[in-house]
Amino acid sequence: MHYEADMDRDGRSVLDIRPLMWKDGWPVGGDHFEPGTYEIQSERSGGALELAVDFIRINTGRMRWGPPTGPVKPIANQTLEQDSAKWPAGKIAVDINDYMVRPHQLWTIAPVPDAGGYPGDPYFKITIAGTDRALSATANADVEAVASFSGAPEQLWRIDQLIDGTYRIMPKASPNSGGPLALTAIGASTPALIKFDPKSDRGKWTFRKP
């Protein structure tokens, strides 16, 4: 799209390159991915991408049966400190599960300066919110969370909006892959990296604010 006057850029004439979406039989300009903290939700199962760690129960106090005997109070979300108390120090496997507002299900996505990318879309790092644990492609075409972000190609991610408004997530490089691969839901609970199939919902994801 061409703007005769972009008011955010001194009124200059600029070219804006955007993804192309398709709604009700008409082409529509989409949006570039907006950095932030999200639940990454599988379009196939509705489950959330998460660290495969032991489940830490939220402290709700003593369970009571029957009608409330006192004031009803909200229960606070689990904190990162509580959730991460038993996480392994090194690499952690990644899976897909029901979203329960847990810290190990929240990902912060931020552009990486000078890492390259495509017009309007830089490469991103994807880390567990509040930590440096980074999503990474593996030599076995799986994904894992490494202890810290290094800027390696397998830790850089391309996020493309598709014509239906969902997103495709692809690593800049996947060791021993021999070609471009996309994050894909195998069944309801297993993420893997395989060739993207535009006719399937397995490789489509949405990003939801917590």
Note the pLDDT of residue 63: 60
In a domain, 85, yes or no: no
6-10, 55-59, 107-111: segment of lowest average pLDDT? 55-59
Number of domains present in the structure of the chain: 1
Residue 113 has pLDDT above 90, yes or no: yes
Q: What is the CATH number of the domain that holds 186?
A: 2.80.10.50
Give a yes or no: residue 204 inside a domain: yes
Q: Say whether pTM exceeds 0.85.
A: yes
DSSP letter assigned to residue 163: T
Which residues constitute the domain of residue 104? 28-53+90-210
Q: Three-class SS of residue 16? A: coil
- Residue 60 inside a domain? The answer is no
Note whether residue 203 is domain-resident.
yes
- pLDDT reported for residue 64: 64
In a domain, 104, yes or no: yes
- Round to whole Å and give the CA distance between 24 and 175: 40
Position 186 in a domain? yes
Please give the full DSSP string across 82-150, using - where no structure is assigned: HHGGG--SS-EEEEEE-----GGG-EEEEE-TTS-EETTEE-EEEEETTS--EEEE-TTS-EEEESS--
Q: Is residue 14 scored above 90 in pLDDT?
A: no
